[in-house]
A and B are shown apart, each in its own frame.
Chain A
């Protein structure tokens, strides 16, 4: 731990005090000493990270900093080489990916990973069905669960995808598919939501939809967003962690990060070279 504990004043009405730990409430998500290496290559190194309840937290860093690997470790898609992961204070490190999802961790993918041959509506239905534990049922047709279908449709309306509900995902433009990514994750009604570059590939006209959706997420949901679009990051995040070469460089409020010399050097410097 031992990170500089900077209290922040949330710009939005937040039900929780700045730092839950001070009141003995465990963070929604926490990693301690998280390490991951592929052979000799260490891609995640000693990451101590806390995601508070109700957080709007951004994880930024140059390409190859290990951001997506971090998401894969937290969701259980990858096994850490060392360290532990806690959800609501409980150690979930040994749990499989599907168990973690059931406990409330949901993610989106940096590169669309959807059921391309199924309709948009059914993509979301599958997620809702799994959340309700229906996935293993052998007999009653899915069509008779009108409640599931309608809940999925309502979610699509929220993401302004309703008109595409009946189309196959692969028929949609890439940017629209990005929204389906989010819809599928929201279908799981997570406690912790990890968005891996949700706006990458989304036309600027539609990135507003993403902002709107994020702003209307439940207040107690803990959000971690990985994003390269700095405008979006500074608009949404109340706290930012900078990851460089698999390790945390610095963490702080947007203002602190913007003012940090190391960040400018490592991260923003790298960006301006493009």
Chain B
């Protein structure tokens, strides 16, 4: 029994850590899709930016890791508002193809810019001593850093959901995601709300990129290489939902870890096949609202 159980626990553990990163990075994409109806293929750029800011602060300026990650989220979130106001906003409710071209352009430019400022190699990421090594839980050793990702991810997800459920702002966001026209007609300032929600989404993505820098190394092609994973999380979860991507990220994180552990020679093939199967069964995703078009 021991070997199989140990493999299962290992898969579940690493899958969970991966899922947390996936969710943090992707949830903003689901919201921009649902709230603004915007196909943002450049979403990964914000995650990569978070990773770059964090690694630079942490490696070059000796800023403590948690502070560096938090600063990365805030800086990227704030900076993204400028992009949202100048570029994205013009294309809300417009042609999806324009959105695709715009965001591909942003990806191209950001890839080159990252190369210019940080070079083409991966950003080194060595967790601080207190997050290195293993910790023992129930007589079993787990990597400390990944345990930290799981724990901080769980805290963030709880805060996010609680905030959306219990605060006035959260209620406005939920109402607008559900029905934008209705929200506008009851006097919600959707323009300000869009900027805020966009910043929240990109800030979370930056945080995900920063926290996940050890799992998914930061390099110039980050946003393009992982694009398909972000899209899978959002599509399988159900566009425009906030909780759906979490369960999709769990499924993807654990399944991907399992496939790569058990059938490494097939790479991501089975993950793609699984995604196709899920969406053949439910084209609107696992948690997409039926009847809403």
Q: Do chains A and B touch in the complex (CB under 8 A)?
A: yes
User: What residue in chain A is nearest B293 (Cβ atoms)?
Assistant: A77
How many residues of B sit at the interface, in one of the four size bands? under 10
For the A-B complex, the count of residue pairs with Cβ-Cβ distances under 8 Å equals 3
User: Which of A7-52 touch B at CB < 8 Å?
Assistant: 38
Q: Once bound together, how far apart are the Cα atoms of A78 and B290, in whole Å?
A: 11
Q: Once bound together, how far apart are the Cα atoms of A51 and B109, in whole Å?
A: 61
Q: Mark B264-293, 1 if CB is under 8 A from A, else 0.
A: 000000000000000000000000001100
Find chain B residues with CB under 8 A from A38 CB: 290-291
Find chain A residues with CB under 8 A from B290 CB: 38
Total number of A residues with any Cβ neighbor in B under 8 Å: 2
Name the distance in Å between A115's Cβ and chain B's nearest Cβ: 16
User: What residue in chain B is nearest A37 (Cβ atoms)?
Assistant: B291
Q: Mark B146-168, 1 if CB is under 8 A from A, else 0.
A: 00000000000000000000000
Name the distance in Å between A53's Cβ and chain B's nearest Cβ: 32
User: What residue in chain B is nearest A38 (Cβ atoms)?
Assistant: B291
Name the distance in Å between A117's Cβ and chain B's nearest Cβ: 11
Q: Once bound together, how far apart are the Cα atoms of A78 and B291, in whole Å?
A: 8
User: What residue in chain B is nearest A36 (Cβ atoms)?
Assistant: B291
User: Which of A246-266 touch B at CB < 8 Å?
Assistant: none
Find chain B residues with CB under 8 A from A78 CB: 291
Find chain A residues with CB under 8 A from B291 CB: 38, 78
Q: Once bound together, how far apart are the Cα atoms of A78 and B292, in whole Å?
A: 11
Q: Mark A76-94, 1 if CB is under 8 A from B, else 0.
A: 0010000000000000000
Q: Once bound together, how far apart are the Cα atoms of A38 and B293, in whole Å?
A: 13
Name the distance in Å between B23's Cβ and chain A's nearest Cβ: 25
Name the distance in Å between B95's Cβ and chain A's nearest Cβ: 11
Q: Once bound together, how far apart are the Cα atoms of A38 and B291, in whole Å?
A: 7
Name the distance in Å between A69's Cβ and chain B's nearest Cβ: 10
Of all A-B residue pairs in the complex, the 3 with the closest CB atoms, nearest first, are A38-B291, A78-B291, A38-B290
Give 3 A-B contacts (CB < 8 Å), ordered by A residue: A38-B290, A38-B291, A78-B291
